[in-house]
Each structure stands twice: as structure tokens, then as C-alpha cells.
Structure 1
Amino acid sequence: NAIFSRYYSSVYYPIIQGALPMSIASLFSVLAFRNVRRIVRRQTRVIRRRLDRQLTAMVLSRAACLVIFILPFTMYRIYVLNITVQSDQLILSAINNNLLEVVTVTIFYVNYSANFYVFMATSSRYRHQVKHVLVKKIWLPFRHWLHFRLKCRNENRIVPEGTQIYHTSVDLE
């Protein structure tokens, strides 16, 4: 559909998926940076200032990652919607477009996992919270569950009828 294609190439990808998220993220990162600069001038606790700096670093790095990882996909989608392919180069164009699509879609989806690693690199408080969740909320309950299952496995045995179970601790008469 030509109208749909024009809408996607002129409104959706450039504005809604491209410029809008990047500009909102950049705006909030600049506002957070200005807020931290203003907080530094006030009399606040050192711990609070350090946490504010970490949060600002997280927001700035998040905005940078958003631009780096979303821009190639947005540019590729606009290119695909506006390209005209000649019939004699149809197969070569399809191969190139598929390769570009795989690369740009992969980069686009790396954005979501990259945030975790960027936050781990920029904030010690975030690292502490992730460690707390992984150890206290996931690993320890799993370890207790596994210990219980292994303990119950030895006590819950099924024996066929007519066989006797002899315990080595009981003396036979």
C-alpha cells in the first residue's frame, strides 16, 4: 500500500521510532545532568551526591546506547521503504537487504540487553542490587529447594511387595 508506505517512511520510523525516543532520552539525561550539577552546589550528604552521580551516569549512558542501537535500524527501515529495485538485480538486492536486516535487527535488540551491562559498568549501587537479587532471592531458595529434594529422594523409596528391607543398624536374630 502506497499510503501506508509513505506514512511509515515519513512519520513512523523517522519520528515515532527514531527521533522521539532519542530526543526524550537525551532531554531527560541533560535534565538529570543539570540537576546533579545543581545538587552538588547544595549542602547534601556525600553518599547522596555519589548516588546522584551514578544515576546521572546511568541515564547518560542509556541515552547514548539508545542512539547508537536504534539509529541503524531506523535508517535501514527508511531505506527499505524508499528503495526501488530493478527486476534484473532482484536476487542480489534481496540478499543484500536480508543481510542488512539481520545485522540491524540484531543491533536493535542488543539495545535492551546492553542496558543491563551499561548499568552494571556505571553504578556500584546497581551491581549491589543485582547481586542481592541473584544471591538472596534466586540462589538461596534454589539451594534450599535442591537440598530438600536430594534429602527427600533417599527417604521416599518404593519397594515391591514381598521383599523385606533390612537395615544394617538393626541386629538380625
Structure 2
Amino acid sequence: MKADNYIIELVKAANITHDLTNTDIVQAYNSYKTEIRTKLIHSMIRNYTGVPNSELEVIKSAINKAIDSGLLANKHLNRIIQNYQTTIKVIGESKHGVIDNRTGIFYECLDGEQWSTVQRVMNERYPDKVIPFIYFMNDSQLDTFGGVERDSIDWFIMETFSIF
């Protein structure tokens, strides 16, 4: 709660024009922080394959602490609010869905249906990637399918979709 109050006070002090409630501000901050954290950790894992898991955990922890403190800087407040207004705010009542970041289209779904929604969107818009995606989802030990690397599909998913 202390961090929640802090981010609310920072947004007020920055005089950013918005129509968000305090709950929206906290949700915006947490959503933005999760998105940045996920991208950084995924990138780190891609670049440090072969590093022992214990060392990866230390690096992940350092990234998490840096993000927690860094995002509170005023220069990120506009991004946090804008991210919320352009993504989460459009979601509507359910607050669950998938945004295709390449097209900006939001696909609403029920909680727990995000991955099947990603699969449906991939089937419609990215058919060349959907079959490897399905195989990788069903077999965590599989690293390559049809000449496609798991890492490339993972990266595609992380860059193309925002999941709420």
C-alpha cells in the first residue's frame, strides 16, 4: 500500500491531465511495471542461455528492484498514464483480454481465456506462427518445430501481444 500511495501522490504532483481514479492509477502503474519487467527478463533469458539458474535468479531480482525504483521517476508517469488510457481503459468491464500490439485491436475474453485468444488471433492474423505456437504450448521440452525456434515464437508473442 505504501508504494500505491506514493505513485498516486507522484501523479498528483506531476499535474498530469487524466481522468483516472486512484485505483486506475495503481493499476496503470502495476500493468506498466509488469510489461517492462516481462520484456526485460525475457530479453535477459534469451541473451544468457547457459547461465546457471541461480545466477539468473540474482539477475531477475536486480532487474525487478531497478524497475520498481526506476518507474517511479517522474519521466515515466506520462507513459504509465498513457499506457493505461490506450490499453487497459479500453478493455471495459471484464478487464480481461488480449491486445494485438501490431494492429491495436483489443480482443475481449474471460479470465483464463487469454492464451486461447492469442491462439485464435494468431490463427487469423499470423497463420505461419500458429502451428509452432500450439506445439510449444503443449510440449515444454520442445525447442524447435518445423525449423522454428521456441525463442523466436516466445519473442514474437512478447512483442505482439499484451495480455490482461
TM-score normalized by the length of structure 2: 0.28
Bigger strand fraction = 2
Q: Which structure has the higher relative contact order (CA within 8 Å, separation 6+)? A: 1
Bigger helix fraction = 1
TM-score normalized by the length of structure 1: 0.27
Give the greater-gyration-radius structure (CA).
Answer: 1
